[in-house]
Amino acid sequence: MTIASVSTIRSTSPIGWQDALERGHERAAQTLRGITRLEVIEERARVENGKITEFVVTLKVVFTLEGASD
């Protein structure tokens, strides 16, 4: 039996949503082991003076708990 946990994180990028997703995954992988899935639950963009200055994604990070399988 495998037990999983879910963390919700927010990541940003000045380049685009894909870059924000990749940055979020890279950062989560520094702390969480066994990541099995990422789910984008929200995309936003910050606009200043009529231009997009920051892309923001909110992610659910699914990871398995160590020692939880039989």
Burial of 57 (0-12, 13-18, 19+ CB in 10 A): buried
| CA 14/CA 47 separation, integer angstroms | 11
Q: Which residues pair with 62 in a beta bridge?
A: 6, 37
- C-alpha distances in angstroms, 46 versus 5, 15, 18, 22, 53? 30, 12, 15, 18, 6
Digit-coded pLDDT (tens) for 5-27: 999 999 999 999 999 999 999 99
The DSSP code for 50 is: T
Q: What is the pTM of this model?
A: 0.84
**Domains of the chain: residue spans and CATH:** 4-64 (3.30.1660.10)
When the pLDDT of each residue in the chain is averaged and rounded to a whole number, the result is 93
